[in-house]
Structures are given as C-alpha cells and as structure tokens.
Amino acid sequence: MSAAPVTPTAFHAPLAWLDGRWQAEVLMRVGADGHWTALSAGVPAPADALRLGGPVLPTLVDAHSHAFQRAFAGLAEQRDSDSDDFWSWRDRMYGVALRVTPAQLKDIAAQLYTELLAGGYTQVCEFHYLHHREDGTPYEDEHAMALALAEAAQEVGIGLTLLPVLYAHAGFAHPGLRETQRRFRTDADWVWQACRRISAAGLPLVRAGVAVHSLRAAHEADVRALQALVGDADIPIHVHVAEQMQEVNDCLAATGRRPIDFLADYGLDPRWQLVHATHSTREEIARIAASGAGVVICPGTEGNLGDGLADLPGWLAAGVPLTVGSDSQVTRGWVEELRWLEYGQRLGLQRRNVAARPGHQPSTAARLFDACVAGSARAAGLRSWGLQAGARADFLVLDTSASGLAGLPDAALLDGLIFASQGPAWREVYVAGQPRSIDDAGRRERFVATMAALWR
C-alpha cells in the first residue's frame, strides 16, 4: 500500500490573482487540513516552498450539475419535427434517466468530474434527483445513487456538494408525477433524511444541502415542509426557477404571480441559490437582492436549450451573488461559461464589455470571474473560497505558453484566458493542496463502455 501524498506546507507563485488583481512573488502557506493559513505578495521564495511553474488563479465552484446528463450530451442535436424546445429535449433526456444504474452513474460521474477538473472547477454542486430503481421502487439502500456520485467524486478527488432534490409533482396543476418521472419521486422527509445521511458519512471533500426541483414540481405544502425540517441549519438550498417562458406563463396561470416573485414569498435568505432565473423583472431582482440569495446562471445549457438570456446587468448592478454551472454538461469548463455569459449579452444588447464596470472594474473578465469566486462558497455550503486564509487550498497554475495567453502582458492574462483561449490553459490543478490528474484513461474506458451499454 502506497503512502499518502505529502502536502507541501508552502507554495510560491511568480504571479497570483489576489484581491482582484495580479500580484507578484506570492507565498501561499497550507495547513495540515489542506486550507490556506496565509498568503502574502512581494515575498521571495523561501527554501521550504514549492515553486510553481506559472501564474496562479483560484478555481471556481460548478454550482449546478446533473451528472447523469453527461451520458446525453451531444445526443439531442437533431430535429425530427416542426418544433424543438426545452420540453421536447426533456422528454428525450428521460430516456437516459430511466435506464442508468448506480454502477453506470458512478462511471459517468467519474468521467464528468475528471472533465470538470480539467475545466477549472474543484467543487461541484450536484442537483441530484435520480434516486430510485428503473421501475421507481427504492433500492435496498435507498441512497445508492447518491452514494455512487460520492464514490465518483472521491475517486477523482474533486469536492462535492450533494443536493438531494424534492420532486413531487409533474406541474402546477398536477397532484403527482408522470410515469416517466417515477425515479425522481421524493417528499420533504425523504430529502431531509438523505441530506442527514450524506452529512453523517463524513466523507472527505463531500458536503450536503437540499434542493427544490422547481415551483411546478414542489408545491407550497412541499416547500414549507422542507423548510420546517431544515430550520436554521447552515446548508445550501437550491431551486430551479424561471428557466423557461412556459414556466413563467404556467405559474402566472396557476398563482397569478411570476415564479421569482412567488418564490420570494417563501422567505429566502443567503442559503438559497436560484438556478437559471432567466426570466426576471427589475422588481424581482430587487426582492432577491434584499434577501441575500444568490443566482446560478448556466450559459452553455441555457443556450443549448434555447432558454433565453438572463438579465446579467440587472443581477450585477443589484449586487446579487453570482455563480455558474455546467447543468446538462454540454459545456464543462468555467472559461466557456463566462465567455458565453458575456457574449450572450453582447448579442442581445448589441454592445461590448457589458459586464465591465468603468471606473471600478473595467475588465469584463475580472468582474465576472471575481463575482463567481465571491459567490462560490455560499453556493457550495462552504465557509470561504479562493486565495484567502481559511479557504481550501484549491488553485490552478496557468500555462502562459498556451493558445490565447502566449505573448500577453501579465495584466491581460485573465482577459486572454476568457476571451481568446482555446480550451483549458493550465499546467496543474490542485485541490486541498494536492495535485489532481485532469485525464485518466481508465475512467474514460469505463465511461465509453457505459455509453455503449446505454445506447447500443
């Protein structure tokens, strides 16, 4: 049996992104728990520090993931009828959801989590609603699917926030689920017990929270029951909301209110994360800002599904915490998510550098990146995040010879990374002070075999 890897007690970077800017000669010390104890700029490298081969960036949290949908990415890009939208995509996606076993889910998730590491994420929030056997009955261990995800994360070495999902209805006017949703069925008690089981397991780098699938899938009594069970527990609470205009219209028809406005009446607080929030009004944004809740935008998936464009200028101006997510897994890196977060706005508004804040933060890349770093801890249920004392020692080492970065002045490296690079541009990825592999042939082979079994 090989010895456990030794965590260096100190790293030294020629440059590091500290306090919203590049700073030189940065000494970063790590405690025995894998968290930063101190970071200082302008310090020559001491003898005990590991000298890193490039500039250092903090990583981001992938704040919204459905791991099983990695097995469907790329398989819904043909149209055989007069129309195709989110709802027709969803019906086809259920074909995967109704077949995946725990062993297959582990193989899918292990491949996905390796790809997310390569994409610059070191923590993933798994919005997990694929719970039961293919026929809808519970597994002998009713949390078998959640445990498969945790095992995959442990194998890869990525942080995981598992969010068991409350999913009880097929729509605003439906008392139950459709037959094709039989694997998702839960109530508030089930979700809370799943959260407690995951937390009690004490797995390294694994945390738990809860999620409400949506207002259409969890009615008021369901949400109130879950809130009562959660109480004041300091855990993240995630919810899909206002992703599609049909959802907005259905909510208006059923309640007389728009979804975000209706959701705000539940008494939101900083634990809540609103996923998508694509269709919002300025009044709704103001209500969310006052609550302290955050928003998770998934530009790659929202573009792929034709959801629409979130009001990025509105959310930023209101100071609402912001993160991004890989969601359906058609994109699996934060560089592309931030690029399309900005490009969507440019296309919609016919302007450039929409997210920039002249006089305060003129770099679009810096404003988006810093916003997501700041929002990452709360989305994942962690106390802190990034290159700061107390946060887990997760970081990326940039390769300045990579496409889009070669030849750029130091001050433009983040701009080049987000708006001119072609793929990941880092030499190394570290989690809790340990280097992680961003490629694994064995995991890929298992994934390919699972895909063959699912799709033959």
Determine contact, residues 390/36, Cβ cutoff 8 Å: yes
Cα distance between residue 440 and residue 436, in whole Å: 11
Determine contact, residues 407/318, Cβ cutoff 8 Å: no
Backbone CA torsion sign across 212, 215, 220, 221? negative
Cα distance between residue 303 and residue 152, in whole Å: 28
Q: Which of 367, 447, 372 is nearest to 120 (CA)?
A: 372
- The two three-digit tokens of residue 81, written as one number: 């009828």
Query: What DSSP designation does 100 have?
Result: -
Determine contact, residues 126/65, Cβ cutoff 8 Å: yes
- The two three-digit tokens of residue 8, written as one number: 């260096």
Strand, helix or coil at 337?
helix
Alpha helices by DSSP H, listed for 29-101, are: 86-97
With 0-12 / 13-18 / 19 or more C-beta atoms within 10 angstroms meaning exposed / middle / buried, residue 80 is: exposed
Cα distance between residue 107 and residue 154, in whole Å: 12
Residue 188 CB contacts under 8 Å (≥ 6 apart), including other chains: 166, 222, 225, 226, 228, 229
CA diameter of the chain:
68
Residue position matching structure tokens 């009828």: 81
- The two three-digit tokens of residue 138, written as one number: 């519970």
Backbone CA torsion sign across 86, 147, 161, 157? negative
In terms of C-beta distances under 8 Å and separation of at least 24 residues, what long-range contacts does 88-92 make, across chains too?
A: 89/305, 91/180
Strands 434-436 and 426-431: antiparallel
Residue 28 CB contacts under 8 Å (≥ 6 apart), including other chains: 10, 11, 12, 13, 16, 36, 38, 39, 56, 387, 393, 395
Q: Which residues are catalytic?
A: 276, 327
